[in-house]
Structure 1
Amino acid sequence: MSTAPEAPTGGADVPVSKPSQMFKSCWSCRLISGGGLILSGAYVFNAARRVMRQGAPTSVGTVAQITFAASLAAWGIVIIADPVGKAQRKT
């Protein structure tokens, strides 16, 4: 006689959620992580602008820093918008 609980089988009456689906359906999780990425992009951009405002010549490192800041902010927007999750058809 076994006392271990049975795992959900995913039948018609019991939906089984996958870990990847939990993050996509959690609006607050997407908002917090996307907002954090946008704010970190703003911080990196501000650090690059501070160097440029001090009169230092624009270097390759400063341009790379601004590009990295833009990519962080874009990644945050993609996390919040979730275009892939909206494109998937639910059956």
Structure 2
Amino acid sequence: GAHGAPGSGSPGARIQLRFKNCWSCRLIPGGGLILCGAYVFNASRRMIGKGGPPTIGTVLQITFATSLAAWGIVVIADPVRKAQKKT
């Protein structure tokens, strides 16, 4: 295969492949992203809880928090890798 491709026998490719297969290497960053999303979401809810009307900034914070959490779930689930295994 091409230099650095997962199919090649280079040490860098083997390390990259091992990183993508490592459960804890996906669980820790994915969990961190989910926790970051929960923190941002909680901060935006606190602003709404103080009695202030929801502003566009608050809505954007909630959207960003949801995106972070979704990204964390994708990192943990690794759907691209599973799709490549089936072919």
TM-score range, shorter chain: 0.7 to 0.9
Q: Distance in 1 between matches of 2:85 and 2:35?
A: 32
Q: Residue 61 of structure 2 is aligned with which of 56, 62, 65?
A: 65
Q: Distance in 2 between matches of 1:53 and 1:90?
A: 47
| 1:42 is the counterpart of 2:38 | yes
User: How many percent identity over aligned positions?
Assistant: 67
Q: Distance in 2 between matches of 1:86 and 1:32?
A: 19
| Counterpart residue type for residue 19 of structure 2 | F
Alignment of 1:1-91 (within 5 A): 10=9, 16=11, 18=13, 19-89=15-85
Shift of 1:89: 3.2
- CA RMSD in angstroms comes to 2.2
| Counterpart residue type for residue 68 of structure 1 | F
Q: Distance in 2 between matches of 1:56 and 1:23?
A: 45
Structure 2 runs not aligned, ≥5 long = 1-7
Q: Distance in 2 between matches of 1:42 and 1:72?
A: 9
Give aligned pairs, total.
79
Shift of 1:90: 7.1
Sort the Cα spacing of 1:90 and 1:21 in 2 relative to 1 into closer, same or farther, 3 A: farther
Which structure has the highest helix share of the two? 2
* Superposition TM-score, scaled by structure 2 size: 0.81
Larger Rg: 1
